[in-house]
Structure 1
Amino acid sequence: MKVARAELSVAFVICSLLAAAALIYASYQLTDSLQGGMADEALRQQYARMTFLALGFVGAAGFGSLFVVLPLLRHHNREQGKLRSLTVLLKERSKKLEAAALTDPLTGTHNRRFFDEALLQYVQEFQRIKRPLGLILIDLDHFKAINDSHGHDTGDEVLRAVAFCLFEVTRFHDVVARIGGEEFAIIAPNLGFDELRRFAEKLRHEISRVTLTVGEVRLGVTASIGIALAGPEDGPGSLTKRADVNLYQAKQGGRNRVII
């Protein structure tokens, strides 16, 4: 059976303490003899030796205990360090998983789940503080034709390029999400009617400047945009429906336009 060094150290400490206790007890017996008048030089020397040995065993026990305590402390510190590292790793992994669950993997924008939750919170909060809140729905024109003619890989590149364009144009506190195949949505707070229209027109213009080269073909893309401004009685559903109706009118009216 394998005996650990710590176990041997514990046994050594216990034996040293027992030996010291026995010597101390014997020293007390000699002390009684010395106090009883039977002292001679031999007894005194024996008493001194036993006292010295007892102190030596106590010291050895104390020294031996270091071989028990110090390894335990080092082991404890190592385990605590591993536990802290594991905790940090799990927190980082949890954040990454949470972010991945709310992010569109193709474009890096927020996904539909995040958009739905954010829109509900924005509508409730901006109705409470009585500030304007706009919703912009963007649908890429003739995107199916791009997929059919040039392949889905090219279509994916177009989506990524448009998403990058949206990130460049939108403000820090705007919420950009991909909510469908070729459909994006933007929650735009603190913009009134005219400001929201101008902002949407800027988005449309910048999207129309997106180009992609496929072989010898240079692809361009345009977008139809429907926008709506939240009213005092609007919920997320009614606001989205009005923006969607305007998006439909933009597509029916010739595409590459903004309807509010």
Structure 2
Amino acid sequence: MRFHKAESAFFVFIFVILAAGLVTLHAYGLLQGIATDLDTASRIEKIVYLNKLLFATGVLLATALFFGVFFIYPMIRGQATEEGKLRAMTVSLSARSETLEHAALTDGLTGMQNRRYFDDALKEYLEEFRRIEKPVGLMILDLDHFKQVNDTHGHDVGDEVLRAVAGCLRGMTRYHDVVARLGGEEFAVVTPNMDAELLSKFAERIRKAVANMSVLSGNVRLKITTSVGLAVWDRKETAEDFYRRADRQLYEAKRQGRNRVCA
């Protein structure tokens, strides 16, 4: 298990404080012994030793103070600054998106963002996150055997399925994630500030949520599943290459039997 730098610094800080506490406790015990010792030479020797202990305690506390001021606080402040930048960038992206024509960027069936919005937003996120050196995840989802739904129950039912999946995705994603319908039964989610491990867990929760949904068609209760392809941006590839890499993982999920996540 690897610790974050701030966690490691905190453990060192606590260790130094505990060491100072133990030395102080030992000095207190020695002081009690001096009070009951009648031998003058022995008392002087203990007092000299006590002075050394108190000096060591002072050094440990000074070390803890120095470490806290010059190592722990800058780390905490740096993390707070990065979070502030992320929030400001999200607000900026949201404000700019509102200036674009809503109809041109929205999928008419599901009310989600469409492929045009997705392409623009993905490029913009990569540009911004290259600057702040944070990860960007991408999730491509495709409903399994969706053609059979349309062929068996009609396109009206198929549309209900797409709207239900869209609602599920909107309900499970964060406010700064980009959630879009790319076309047909294919969806995409851009997940900023999410590494490979978090992205895999997130995608698995979405896959299970879709699999647990039910869409009513008359007296028939439809169950659907989705295959998911994942990729985390390597900070070098273009938006198109990034998308293609996630799309290849989607096809691998289909090849392995569907209703699964591949990364």
TM above 0.5: yes
AA aligned opposite 2:159: D
1:247 to 232, 236, 250: 250
Instruction: For residue 125 of structure 1, report the CA deviation from its aligned partner.
Output: 1.0
**Rounded Cα–Cα distance in structure 2 between residues aligned with 1:173 and 1:165:** 16
Instruction: For residue 214 of structure 1, report the CA deviation from its aligned partner.
Output: 1.1
2:111 aligns to what? 108
Q: What does 1:1-260 correspond to in 2, within 5 Å?
A: 98-260=101-263
**Rounded Cα–Cα distance in structure 2 between residues aligned with 1:162 and 1:257:** 16
Instruction: For residue 97 of structure 1, report the CA deviation from its aligned partner.
Output: 8.3
**Rounded Cα–Cα distance in structure 2 between residues aligned with 1:148 and 1:179:** 21
Secondary structure at the counterpart of residue 227 of structure 1: strand
Supply the RMSD in Å over aligned alpha carbons: 1.3
**Rounded Cα–Cα distance in structure 1 between residues aligned with 2:183 and 2:105:** 14
**Rounded Cα–Cα distance in structure 1 between residues aligned with 2:254 and 2:195:** 24
AA aligned opposite 2:132: I
Instruction: For residue 216 of structure 1, report the CA deviation from its aligned partner.
Output: 1.7
| TM-score, normalisation: structure 2 | 0.62
What are the Cα deviations for residues 39-89 of structure 1, in whole angstroms up to 9, with x where unaligned?
xxxxxxxxxxxxxxxxxxxxxxxxxxxxxxxxxxxxxxxxxxxxxxxxxxx
AA aligned opposite 2:242: L
Instruction: For residue 153 of structure 1, report the CA deviation from its aligned partner.
Output: 0.3
Instruction: For residue 169 of structure 1, report the CA deviation from its aligned partner.
Output: 0.3
AA aligned opposite 2:204: E
What are the Cα deviations for residues 121-158 of structure 1, in whole angstroms up to 9, with x where unaligned?
01111111110000100000000000000000000000
Instruction: For residue 96 of structure 1, report the CA deviation from its aligned partner.
Output: 9.8
**Rounded Cα–Cα distance in structure 1 between residues aligned with 2:113 and 2:100:** 14
Structure 1 or 2, whichever has the larger Rg, is 1
Q: Which runs of 5+ in 2 are unaligned?
A: 1-97
